[in-house]
Amino acid sequence: MIYGQPLPPPAVSPRVGKIIETGREQIHMLESGSADGNPVVLLHGCGSIAEEVMMPFSGSGFDIVAPDRPGYGFSQALPAGERGPLGQSFWLERFLEALELEEVVLAAHSIGCAPALHLAARRPDLVKGLFLISPCCRPVPFKPFIVLRSAMAPFVGPVIRQHVIARWSPYFLERGLRASSYPNPVTSWLSTLPAMHMVNAASIAAMAEELWAFNGDMQPLESLPADLPLSVLFGREDRIIEPRWHLDWLQARHSAARIELLDGVGHMPHHVAPDLALQMLGDLAGKTPGDLAGKTPDMRR
């Protein structure tokens, strides 16, 4: 304690992986397993990083690569006009080409599902299967996002990003994790995420720009390849996005999707029910229960 005030939590260092050069940008990625052949590619959601979405799958027996999406973590932002789901699908295509990957299983969470869907529609030859976790994919009604809009406003925006949000990053991260996890408690491993690395001026800008481009980019996506293996994991109590709103949209574009809805689970089902997430991913990746026997997710950083 200093002058009656609690000490701030100690800073947590982010997990550092590899930097991939695509010819247009630098992309930071984490790996788990040998990554030989065609690994599973994991995409995180809005305001997150590869480290978070990797947690339930790391050490599980899968060969995984997980990039920080554009503008998040250590990855470069895309140019203006390319920061929505459609532009990110071309970014994802360049990432796969840089790694010489094809016919991959894509697993994605929340708004990270949107570029994965665009890539599957444009380049079905690159996508062996899709595993969508709490997918945000259908254009949504207007939301004010007052804090986010204030942080991006002319003149006052940079001050808010640098001196309010970034300065109080542990508070904003904790608040975001509680909202995303509701009605489930925030898991202990999520509490180890590096707040200042996740909540900063660059990540706030990335979040705002992809959200504002979302509706316009997703409106034209009318169908998905009929033979695309597609699995969806959703929590019925999701308060970040409305499950039925997005599921109806998905089923209209792919009637054969496998859907698992979990009672009493919110926006983070991959953290609440990692065993089911692993099983569903294994079904798409061709991993049998025997292949994963004795393998449990390594939640340590």
Task: List, for residues 142-153, the tens digit of each pLDDT value.
Answer: 776 666 667 677
Q: For residue range 188-216, what is the model confidence (pLDDT) as tens digits?
A: 999 999 999 999 989 989 999 999 999 99
Task: Give the SS3 label for residue 150.
Answer: helix
- pLDDT interval class at 60 (50, 70, 90): confident
Distance in angstroms (rounded) separating the CA atoms of residues 41 and 88: 14
The more confident residue out of 242 and 144 is 242
The more confident residue out of 83 and 155 is 83
Distance in angstroms (rounded) separating the CA atoms of residues 223 and 220: 9
199 within domain boundaries: no
123 within domain boundaries: yes
58 within domain boundaries: yes
Half-sphere exposure for 194 (CA within 13 Å, toward CB): 18
92 within domain boundaries: yes
pTM for the predicted model, two decimal places: 0.91
61 within domain boundaries: yes
- The per-residue pLDDT for 6 is 44
- Look at residue 290 and tell me whether its pLDDT is greater than 70: no
298 within domain boundaries: no
CATH, residue 136 = 3.40.50.1820
- Look at residue 1 and tell me whether its pLDDT is greater than 70: no
Query: Averaged over 90-108, what is the pLDDT?
Result: 96
DSSP letter for each residue of 221-277: -----TT--EEEEEETT-SSS-HHHHHHHHHHH-TT-EEEEETT--S-HHHHSHHHH
Apex CA 100: angle with CA 70 and CA 274, to 5°? 60
- pLDDT interval class at 35 (50, 70, 90): low
Distance in angstroms (rounded) separating the CA atoms of residues 90 and 122: 9
- Structurally, the chain folds into a number of domains equal to 1
Query: Averaged over 27-32, what is the pLDDT?
Result: 95
Query: Averaged over 54-73, what is the pLDDT?
Result: 93
Angle of helix 113-122 relative to helix 201-218, nearest 10 degrees? 50
242 within domain boundaries: yes
Could you tell me the residue range of the domain that residue 22 belongs to? Answer: 18-142+212-285
- The per-residue pLDDT for 221 is 96
28 within domain boundaries: yes
> Over the chain, what is the mean pLDDT?
89
Distance in angstroms (rounded) separating the CA atoms of residues 297 and 62: 10
- The per-residue pLDDT for 67 is 98
